[in-house]
């Protein structure tokens, strides 16, 4: 299990910002899509100002560079992936000198002008998908269909904000991320994991957030799957 000291600087910053801006929210229970009652809720949609989006994208970019992923372009699945992929491309260019092409899809194909359902650079080569979380893998599955429909394009990896590290279903011992990795044969990277959030809060907040930490630990004990 990662300790706070083992976190990369961008990971510690991401957790601090998520806590400061209530991206990670406590005081539940919150009902998830799975129907589970969670003591915390993560909503990347609340990175909803220019500064917040910039800071989040910088953490994505740092994660990408640190991971050493080899890719030719990035793809953002509609809708949440659209601002994520654009902002991450800007952060890669500004902070790392990497001018990376990107594109995203429309939910409905455009029937006039240039037409089609893709916007941005041509979708080709090794494609890195940028998204917020993986719950059931639906958005990733849709992205793979789009990528595979393009000549000479293939999925090479996925980067998300948070790995909740919980079982995909009551019948499975695998997380949704594990299932995606096995099904698609690619690696899913996360900016942070639930374990890292817990350990960081233990080291930086201690008694102040004892109840929140204990709630996450109990939830992980019941549904956890360390990926």
104 Ramachandran zone, left/alpha/beta (phi>0; psi -120 to 50): beta
Q: How many angstroms separate the CA atoms of 127 and 76, rounded? A: 10
8 Å CB contact between 52 and 84: no
94, 98, 107, 112: which one is catalytic? 112
Residue 25: which of 217, 225, 159, 212 has the closest Cα? 212
Residue 151 is a catalytic residue:
no
8 Å CB contact between 60 and 75: no
**Paired residues of 120 in beta bridges:** 103
Residue 112 is a catalytic residue:
yes
110, 203, 210, 222: which one is catalytic? 110
Q: How many angstroms separate the CA atoms of 155 and 208, rounded? A: 43
Number of residues in the chain: 227
The residues that are catalytic are 110, 112
């Amino acid at each position: 299990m990662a300790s706070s000291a083992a976190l990369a600087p961008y990971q510690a910053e991401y957790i601090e910002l998520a806590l400061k801006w209530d991206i990670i929210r406590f005081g539940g229970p919150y009902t998830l899509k799975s129907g589970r009652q969670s003591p915390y809720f993560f909503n990347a949609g609340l990175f909803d100002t220019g500064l917040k989006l910039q800071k989040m994208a910088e953490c994505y970019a740092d994660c990408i560079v640190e991971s050493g992923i080899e890719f030719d372009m990035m793809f953002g699945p509609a809708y949440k992936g659209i601002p994520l992929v654009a902002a991450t491309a800007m952060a890669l260019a500004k902070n790392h000198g990497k001018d990376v092409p990107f594109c995203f899809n429309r939910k409905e194909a455009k029937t006039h002008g240039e037409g089609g359902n893709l916007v941005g650079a041509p979708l080709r080569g090794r494609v890195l998908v940028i998204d917020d979380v993986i719950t059931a893998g639906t958005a990733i599955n849709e992205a793979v269909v789009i990528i595979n429909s393009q000549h000479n394009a293939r999925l090479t990896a996925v980067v998300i904000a948070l790995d909740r590290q919980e079982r995909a279903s009551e019948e499975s011992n695998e997380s949704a991320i594990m299932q995606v990795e096995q099904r698609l044969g690619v690696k899913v990277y996360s900016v942070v994991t639930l374990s890292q959030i817990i350990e960081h809060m233990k080291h930086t907040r201690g008694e102040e957030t004892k109840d929140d930490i204990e709630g996450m630990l109990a939830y992980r004990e019941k549904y956890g799957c360390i990926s």
